[in-house]
């Protein structure tokens, strides 16, 4: 069988998304050093010729992973911060929606990329840019609800860094317990009495997601 035919057969077995999914799994579980073409090919059960159908080289794959991380995590967080909200309680609850859903912000991927950045200055640059974009979005969210520039910036940082720390510490708690703390959390983050209707709507969403 000719090389071109073999190449085509390898291509039909897996897609670009398959390679990216496998690479992401390895990155999250084992770190960037283990994201290797041969290893991924073995995992997918195909030869490395399939890889070159979709990517120029390993660096191209790693860059695709970073682009996926940015488009999923950073873009998603910004989108949630810009969701319509009647008041700051609802706005902060929209921010939390980004994290409460398993289909939303990929926390394990975020910290895998942060670990990668410890060893790669170019990835550190992208992490720093992502954090600036995210904090700016949260700051704008507070500003839209009447907070001045200094207070909006401070409260945005408190909210954002708390959320990252919550997952970095791998806090495990039942949804009932987490939701029982929601009202004092909102008051702490905003300095205002929470809107109970917005709280109730978010709790309904959170419990539904927990059962999914």
**Residue ranges per domain, the chain?**
1-55, 66-211
Q: For 89-111, what is the mean pLDDT?
A: 90
Angstrom distance (rounded) from CA 29 to CA 26: 5
Asked if 61 and 55 touch (Cβ cutoff 8 Å), the reply is yes
The larger pLDDT score, comparing residue 169 to residue 51, is at 51
Q: For 157-164, what is the mean pLDDT?
A: 95
What is the pLDDT confidence band of residue 134, given thresholds at 50, 70 and 90?
very high
Angstrom distance (rounded) from CA 30 to CA 28: 6
Asked if 163 and 80 touch (Cβ cutoff 8 Å), the reply is no
- Asked if residue 11 has pLDDT above 80, the reply is no
* Tens digit of each residue's pLDDT (9 = 90 or more) over 21-59: 999 999 999 999 999 999 999 999 998 888 999 999 999
User: How much is the pLDDT for 94?
Assistant: 97
Q: Which residue has the tokens 């490395």?
A: 48
Question: Which of 125, 121, 6, 111 is CA-nearest to residue 69?
Answer: 111
pTM of the model: 0.88
Q: State the CATH architecture for 1-55.
A: Orthogonal Bundle (1.10)
User: How much is the pLDDT for 61?
Assistant: 97
Q: Where are the alpha helices (DSSP H) in the chain?
A: 3-13, 16-30, 37-44, 51-54, 58-69, 75-81, 88-100, 107-117, 121-144, 149-168, 175-180, 182-190, 196-211
């Amino acid at each position: 069988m000719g090389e071109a035919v073999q190449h085509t057969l390898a291509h039909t077995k897996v897609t670009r998304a398959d390679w990216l999914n496998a690479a992401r799994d390895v990155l999250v579980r084992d770190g960037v050093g283990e994201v290797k073409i041969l290893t991924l090919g073995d995992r997918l059960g195909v030869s490395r010729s399939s890889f070159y159908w979709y990517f120029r080289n390993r660096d191209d794959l790693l860059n695709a992973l970073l682009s996926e991380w940015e488009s999923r995590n950073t873009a998603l967080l910004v989108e949630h911060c810009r969701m319509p909200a009647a008041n700051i309680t609802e706005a902060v609850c929209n921010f939390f929606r980004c994290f409460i859903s398993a289909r939303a912000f990929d926390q394990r991927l975020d910290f895998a990329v942060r670990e990668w950045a410890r060893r790669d200055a170019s990835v550190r640059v992208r992490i720093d840019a992502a954090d600036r974009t995210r904090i700016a979005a949260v700051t704008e969210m507070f500003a839209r609800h009447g907070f001045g520039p200094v207070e909006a910036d401070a409260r945005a940082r408190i909210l954002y860094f708390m959320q990252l720390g919550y997952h970095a510490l791998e806090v495990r708690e039942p949804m009932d317990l987490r939701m029982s703390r929601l009202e004092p959390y909102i008051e702490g983050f905003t300095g205002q009495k929470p809107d109970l209707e917005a709280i109730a709507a978010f709790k309904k969403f959170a419990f539904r997601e927990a059962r999914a």
